Chain A
Amino acid sequence: SQELEQSPQSLIVQEGKNLTINCTSSKTLYGLYWYKQKYGEGLIFLMMLQKGGEEKSHEKITAKLDEKKQQSSLHITASQPSHAGIYLCGAAARQGAQKLVFGQGTRLTINP
């Protein structure tokens, strides 16, 4: 079965610094999702990537899916306290798959 490994598991950065979170799959990715979860709340959709080499940006967050479609990275530029939370990647194991699998999450803390 497909597994997603996120690294790092937790991250503490100074406000204003850049950071990167990685999501590595044991198999080819079809439809890679990034979600953000505020502590004690639900998941907010950030971005979805499907094609190898694809890159999407929203405000100061950029996500990429590598050419081989087995790893995705989430990069935050000039981090702010509002970026704090848990970031999760989710993916489908195959084209047309009903089920998504998720990584274990990365807990991001932003120090002022």
Chain B
Amino acid sequence: NAGVTQTPKFQVLKTGQSMTLQCAQDMNHEYMSWYRQDPGMGLRLIHYSVGAGITDQGEVPNGYNVSRSTTEDFPLRLLSAAPSQTSVYFCATRRSSGGAADTQYFGPGTRLTVL
């Protein structure tokens, strides 16, 4: 039982390049989400999903796309990377989509630098 896994752990991109951050969970959790963490800003929600085929925007969705074709995977796509997207990205899952009463589990993070 691996929990929540993220790949890659580190990535350096040039401005304008595209890439996909991978997130996978083996806990059969309904709810999955992506956050970015920046110094002094805490965690900010980018996108979230309450189940396969359903996604919605968080606080800071611009520049990012997501899809949820399976329960297990929730990839985050950067179509044209910008220096402002330099950050640490965390994927998080929760058993139920029915509210915040369940514990939210976080992946180890992906550290992204855009030059």
Q: How large is the interface on B (under 10, 10 to 19, 20 to 34, 35 or more residues)?
A: 20 to 34
Given A88-B42, A99-B48; A45-B105 close (CB under 8 Å): yes
Contacting pair B41 A104 (CB below 8 A): yes
Closest CB in chain A relative to B6 CB, distance in Å: 8
Q: List, in ascending order, chain B residues with CB within 8 A of A31's CB.
A: 99-101
Given A30-B100, A88-B43; A42-B58 close (CB under 8 Å): no
Q: List, in ascending order, chain A residues with CB within 8 A of B104's CB.
A: 33, 45, 90, 100
Residues of A whose CB lies within 8 Å of any CB of B are 4, 9, 30-31, 33, 35, 40-45, 48, 50, 88, 90-92, 95-105
A-B contact pairs, 17 of them (CB 8 A): A4-B42, A9-B40, A31-B100, A33-B103, A42-B108, A43-B90, A48-B103, A91-B100, A95-B99, A96-B99, A98-B31, A98-B97, A98-B100, A99-B58, A102-B44, A103-B42, A104-B42
